[in-house]
Amino acid sequence: MEKARILIVEDEHTIARCMKLILCQEGFEVSDVVATGEEAVDIISKIRPDLVLMDIKLRGNIDGIAACEQIQESVDIPVVFVSAYSDTETIARARRKKPYGYITKPFKTERLIRTVKIALSEQA
């Protein structure tokens, strides 16, 4: 069975490295790690991951929700938001993009793995 490929969009290096380690130990392939929404939009059609883990507040001109919208316009790839923000407005904006999940930081390893597996199984 082929490993599921995951794109991590996270501007905090330590968190990105932690997520990559967790996912690789669980048998997933992290196809790339990028720090801005612009990078995610630019690379998505080239690497065609099976899932995107998207932070909401990112460096650059577009946040994770706007990047998700642009990605959804070009490809059908599930997005799971991973964010420290859980205020009503942010959650409402994120929900409108119909993500496959929303994980709040700090996250537990089990929650990350479970959410990724569920999102991938719903896409299959």
Residue ranges of the domains in the chain?
Answer: 5-123
The pLDDT score that the predictor gives to residue 2 is 76
The pLDDT score that the predictor gives to residue 122 is 83
What pTM was computed for the model?
Answer: 0.95
pLDDT tens digits, 18-37: 999 999 999 999 999 999 99
Regions of the chain with pLDDT less than 70: 1, 124
pLDDT tens digits, 113-123: 999 999 999 87
- CATH code of the domain made up of 5-123: 3.40.50.2300
Closest CA to 115 of 79, 88, 91: 79
Q: What percent of the chain has pLDDT over 70?
A: 98
Neighbours of 63 (CB within 10 A): 20
The pLDDT score that the predictor gives to residue 83 is 96
CA–CA separation, 7 vs 77, rounded Å? 10
The pLDDT score that the predictor gives to residue 106 is 95
**Please, what sign has the CA dihedral across residues 11, 77, 104, 90?**
positive
CA–CA separation, 102 vs 91, rounded Å? 9
